[in-house]
Chains A and B, each alone.
Chain A
Amino acid sequence: MPEVPITIVRRLPPAVVLVLAATVVGCGPARVAGPLPDAAAAAALRASLTSGESAGAAAEEVVSGTGWGSLTGRFVFVGTTGERRVLTVSKDIEVCSKDGMKLYDNSLRLDPASNGLADVVIFVRKSRRVKNPVSTEQLVFDQKNCEFLSPVFAARVGQPIDVRNSDPIGHNTNVSGSSFNQLIPAGDGTIFTPNRETGMPVSVTCNIHPWMKAYAVFRDDGYVAVSAADGSFTISDLPAGEPLEFQVWHARSLGPNGGLGLQKPELKWSSKGRFEITLEPDQVRDLGTLEVPAAALGG
């Protein structure tokens, strides 16, 4: 029998044991331990929740304003943009990239003449008075050439939206957070009536064509605007005489939840993309040109 070097025999088993033991004990990535609840505070809070009493409930503020005003302005992009990204078209090529047509990332649309920034959403976070009833007029949200024709779309809760498909192929339209995910046959449409307010805009996608993407925002009071191709926006019939907090959003913004923070100290424009204004009756408040630096949109 050939002599086995005894040192190896002796050293190997402990090594093997170590490895095996470590395997048994488990060396996967550790789960991150979140904080434990404060038991005493939880018990006290539970008591206050079940007794129906709550400390520090603020009295409802009295609505004092009368009349209506409007807010207007124009977003302008400052800086340079990178190349527009070409989207990878992997399905229905005979329609979606017909005759070598290319589809581009639509998340940053500028007016070539003035650098006006389109597709900025601005809405009132909370209003106490609303002037107009919900319109029953149908809005149209269309898709053609495997693109959503409205990259950013706003509607009032309760207003019917005709989700159309102008392509010769089927799409399915999936509005995140609303559980609307519906087949839209070629050349057809279906009515979607949002029944719940979104906070920030939510994404709209098509599961058949994964590159398709748009955003939608639905507000109870309808005080929402999407900046037009030249970057301008107007929200009218706003309640005057009460502080209105506006939220501004852009798909490419690096701020939290897409909130667009601007350097506007006179409006106390926050990094979350919020500012507050109180309108006078019949006032048209013009914010003028609102410069959006390239850095705020990730270059």
Chain B
Amino acid sequence: MIITTRLSLLALLVLLPLASGCGPTPPASFRLNMVEAISPSAEKDSISAEQALTPAQEKQVATILAAMFGTPDTPTCLPETGLDPAKLVLAAGPVRSDIVGRKNGLYREHCVHCHGITGDGMGPTAAFLNPYPRDYRPGVFKFKSTERASKPTHADLYRVLHEGLAGSSMPSFALLSPVQIDALVEYVKYLSMRGETELALMRYYFELDEEDEGKLPETREFLVEEILEPIAEKWASAEDQEIEVPEMPEDLDLAASIAKGRELFHGDKANCVKCHGVTALGDGQANDYDDWSKNIYKIEEKLKTLADSEPDSEERQWIAEFERVLAGDALTPRTIPPRNLRQGIYRGGRRPLDLYYRIHAGINGAPMPAAKGTVAPEDIWHIVNYIRSLPYDFDGELGADRAVAAQPGPAGRLVATQED
């Protein structure tokens, strides 16, 4: 009797994995951006069932992308991308050694489990991380030395890989060789250009005329000159878009600069206080989203407004399909808290220069606005000095000048109470 039970247990254990699939692994393939395919629009609150791509259109996008960018195992790039194919080979494909014993397949060794094979920021571990890993496909990167609208430079991405991003799950890859990091940076650019091309193609179906019969032209004029080149051009021009940073004055009186910075931080001009809070704990504005989450949030809100559409209607089917896509192909939207400036942890780096870049250009993709043009360069330096003093200011200044009494809260956290 006991033996039978054990046997059945054993059989179960063996059979289950078999049933769930142990066949030969299919070759790695890029995933189509299914959220975009069902709502191809830059403005997610004006989407409708009518604009969802048909299966034939999805297939066309997949085929055009394969023609322009190849597959995860054999990436290709057109010369117009400006990418170095040799670097892509080093980064792409399965983990393996080449003929001289050099490690290839670096992206799949180091990056794929968070950023995903397509660079969609949805690798197997992504849902467990906060913040979520970057989704490269919109081509938006936060931590860079360039103006807000510009792409990061090669050196910016190199720095992110080399140093990691403090306070996030992005580790430092300083143990890789410079050649390897270069290859990975090139591959991130490749995945990003591929994702941007995909977005542009999917959104272009709406622009077609009647006589195109819902099919994108597969000409060099359209695919390369109209779609790819503007994307590649933005990447190529990033190197010329670096923010000009004036030197911090050498004879600067630090105490005075910090005091000036505090005034600006709380003042109506720089207005840092609105989001980072009077105590700078990052508790001012807590209900906003970054661009990636905001898109999903907007879609969810839009679908709610359509909840009472006719059963069996085309719209109803679109909503049901959309819910399936969101469940499998989107991460639950999360609000983005403004940085707690009392901790001294800054994702984009803690050098004074890094903080200067963040304040000057804001953070692309995040609510953080640019102070460029509004706050003078020397005033940005004062704010930088004030921010750098905040983590060391435990008992003195914490919001005292704003008629705010700070007291230890229940969990030892500082809680601010307004005294009107």
Using CB atoms and an 8 Å cutoff, list the residues of chain A in contact with chain B: 6, 10, 13-14, 17-18, 21-22, 25, 29-39, 41-43, 45-46, 48-50, 52-57, 90-91, 125, 168-170, 172-174, 176-186, 188, 190-191, 199-203, 207-208, 210, 245, 251, 253-258, 270-272, 298
Contact = CB atoms under 8 A, between A and B. Distances in A.
Contact of B46 (A32, A43, A207, A257): A257
A90 B284 CA distance: 12
B118 to A, nearest CB: 10
A179 B67 CA distance: 30
A35 B29 contact: no
Contact of A170 (B42, B68, B149, B268): B268
B369 A182 contact: yes
B63 interface: yes
B271 A46 contact: no
A10 B5 CA distance: 7
A182 B8 contact: no
A209 to B, nearest CB: 9
26 contacts: A14-B8, A18-B12, A25-B17, A29-B324, A32-B328, A32-B329, A34-B34, A35-B62, A37-B66, A41-B63, A42-B63, A52-B220, A170-B268, A177-B42, A180-B148, A181-B362, A185-B270, A188-B374, A191-B373, A203-B43, A253-B46, A256-B47, A256-B48, A256-B206, A271-B50, A298-B305
B340 interface: no
Contacts of B324: 29, 32
B16 A38 contact: no
Contact of B221 (A57, A90, A191): A57
Nearest to A251: B46
A45 B67 contact: yes
Nearest to B364: A179
B130 interface: no
B149 A180 contact: yes
A55 B8 CA distance: 64
Interface stretch (B51-59, B161-169, B186-194): B51-59
Given A54-B220, A199-B207, A176 B43 contact: yes
Given A179-B148, A182-B370, A184-B374, A207 B42 contact: no
Nearest to B338: A207
Interface residues of B, number: 76
Interface of B: 1, 5, 8-9, 12-13, 16-17, 20, 29, 31-32, 34, 37, 41-43, 45-48, 50-51, 55, 58-59, 62-68, 76, 78, 122, 148-149, 203, 206-207, 209-210, 217-221, 223-224, 268-271, 274-275, 285, 287-288, 305, 324-325, 327-329, 362, 364, 367-375
A29 B50 contact: no
Interface of A is mostly: loop
Contact of B51 (A125, A190, A201, A256): A256
Nearest to A203: B43
Contact of A34 (B31, B68, B221, B288): B31
B65 A37 contact: yes
Nearest to B305: A298
8 smallest A-B Cβ distances: which pairs?
A: A34-B32, A179-B149, A37-B66, A256-B51, A170-B271, A207-B367, A42-B66, A29-B327
Contact of A36 (B45, B62, B122): B62
Given A35-B55, A210-B288, A257-B206, A183 B42 contact: no
A32 B322 CA distance: 10
A202 B16 contact: no
